[in-house]
Amino acid sequence: MERRGRRSFEGLISGKTVEDIINQSQNKWLKKRKEEIVRVVGGALSQVDMFILGQCVSMVKCLDRMIGGLDDMIRGLVNEDELKLLVTVPGVDERAAAVILAEIGDVERFKSGKSLVSWAGLAPSVHESAGKNRTGGITKKGSKWLKAYPGSGGSRCKED
């Protein structure tokens, strides 16, 4: 959760009205829709709503700390040079690079880039019959984790 969103939730938990939070916000989108948001939310939250929201914010903070710890552990397990190289690929951030490295393991076990792509399930399917070739989408074989990340070929990413 972003810091600004967390601040808004913490404001609601402390008893501020939705209108107060929107007035203090720098977010143009919120300010533009202020009347609609206040009408839907009803201005202020009940004690029960504030308690539940507080529990949710606490849980998100706890999960953020846990994810940070896992990211640090993973970062310590991967080769830093390989990680830096993968991050240069558009659409691949540190977490995606770490997953790619973890899934592939020792890259030396692959004879070529083609064999790696095939192993990962990122190569298009090929159907041959009676001298005709037909290619399809990527196969269902391979790592679901590799296919899930932008820049891996398994999902689309927006080009700059």
Q: For residue range 144-157, what is the model confidence (pLDDT) as tens digits?
A: 777 666 544 444 44
Residue 159 lies in a domain: no
Which DSSP state fits 31?
H
**Are 82 and 144 in the same domain?**
yes
Interhelix angle 94-104/47-77, nearest 10 degrees: 50
Residue 155 lies in a domain: no
**Are 105 and 55 in the same domain?**
no
Give the up-direction half-sphere exposure of residue 8: CA atoms within 13 A in the CB hemisphere: 15
Number of residues that this document lists for the chain: 160
**Are 123 and 93 in the same domain?**
yes
Domain end call among 70, 100, 129: 70
**pLDDT per residue as tens digits for the range 18-76:** 888 888 888 888 888 888 888 887 766 778 888 898 899 899 889 989 988 988 888 78
Residue 122 lies in a domain: yes
Based on the structure, what is the number of domains in the chain?
A: 2
**Are 65 and 101 in the same domain?**
no
Please determine, for residue 1, whether its predicted confidence score (pLDDT) is greater than 70: no
Q: Which helix (H) or strand (E) holds 94?
A: helix 94-104
CA distance 45 to 75: 41
**Are 51 and 89 in the same domain?**
no
CA distance 69 to 17: 35
Residue 160 lies in a domain: no
Which domain range does residue 53 map to?
Answer: 3-70
Residue 153 lies in a domain: no
- Mean pLDDT across 108-112: 88
**Are 62 and 121 in the same domain?**
no
